[in-house]
Every structure is written in C-alpha cells, then in structure tokens.
C-alpha cells in the first residue's frame, strides 16, 4: 500500500477549519497574509493538505504563546526553508550514494549493530547506520 502523502490537497475550507479548530474566516485571513497558502481548484476553491493543517495548528499554538502574526510568518518561512534544505541534503546524499554504488568493487565491507557484513559490488548494507569502509582505486 502507498504511504499517505501529507502534501495532497484534499480538504475544503470548512473541513480544514474544523481540523485546525479555527473558523473558516481565520483560514481565509491567513491565506491573504500568506501564512498558509492552500492550493486552488479549477473553480478557485481552497484545498488544504495535512501539512497545511499542521501549520494552522502551529500558528494557533504560537499565537497563544503571544507571538505576533508577523513573527509567526517569519518562523514559518524559516521552518519551510529549513525543510527544503534538509530535503536537498537528503537528495544529494542519495545521489552521492547512487554514484558510489555504481562503481563496482569500491565497497569492501560494512560494520553495523549485527557485526561485520561483507558486501558484493553494488550491494547496500542492511542497516542505514552501518559504518562502511571504501577502497580507493
């Protein structure tokens, strides 16, 4: 079964407001301010994702702690930028791993929680936390 995608726009504004424990007018205001921007259907109806709902709840939490809406907007911008950078790092790590895996005979062995694991060319260790020793040619 496929994993649930938190970025799939699926909730109309009334449902999103209920899930976020807010009034629909508050969601419209946040959209105008650029705090949480839902996707739009062909008829321009708002559609919210689970990620949007989580952001709305975070806005409510920060607001209850006394953070201004401008402060919240800046916090969300920084969190989004951080998430994008983390994704970019993961993508680059995967690209590097794929490049290294495409070099036959480069990997010698991996050591993880279960001990030393001998690997065939192109094989990945069973654990993502394994220490891998590489041999340069």
Please state whether the predicted TM-score (pTM) of the whole model is above 0.95.
Answer: no
Token pair listed for 121: 């060319």
Q: How far apart are CA 14 and CA 35, in angstroms?
A: 18
Residues 109, 89 share a domain? no
Residues 97, 109 share a domain? no
Residues 108, 92 share a domain? no
Question: pLDDT digits over 41-81, tens only?
Answer: 999 999 999 999 999 999 999 999 999 999 999 999 999 89
Number of domains into which the chain is organized: 2
Residues 68, 8 share a domain? yes
Q: How buried is 125 (Cβ within 10 angstroms: 0-12 exposed, 13-18 middle, 19+ buried)?
A: middle
Token pair listed for 106: 């480069």
Residues 77, 112 share a domain? no
């Amino acid at each position: 079964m496929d994993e649930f995608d938190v970025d799939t726009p699926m909730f109309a504004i009334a449902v999103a407001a209920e899930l976020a424990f807010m009034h629909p007018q508050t969601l419209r205001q946040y959209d105008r301010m650029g705090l949480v921007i839902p996707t739009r259907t062909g008829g321009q109806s708002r559609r919210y994702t689970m990620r949007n709902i989580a952001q709305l709840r975070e806005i409510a939490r920060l607001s209850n702690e006394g953070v201004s809406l401008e402060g919240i907007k800046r916090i969300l911008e920084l969190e989004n930028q951080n998430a994008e950078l983390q994704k970019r790092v993961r993508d680059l790590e995967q690209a590097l791993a794929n490049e290294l895996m495409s070099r036959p005979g480069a990997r010698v062995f991996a050591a993880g929680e279960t001990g030393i694991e001998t690997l065939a060319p192109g094989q990945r260790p069973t654990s993502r936390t394994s220490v891998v020793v590489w041999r340069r040619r």
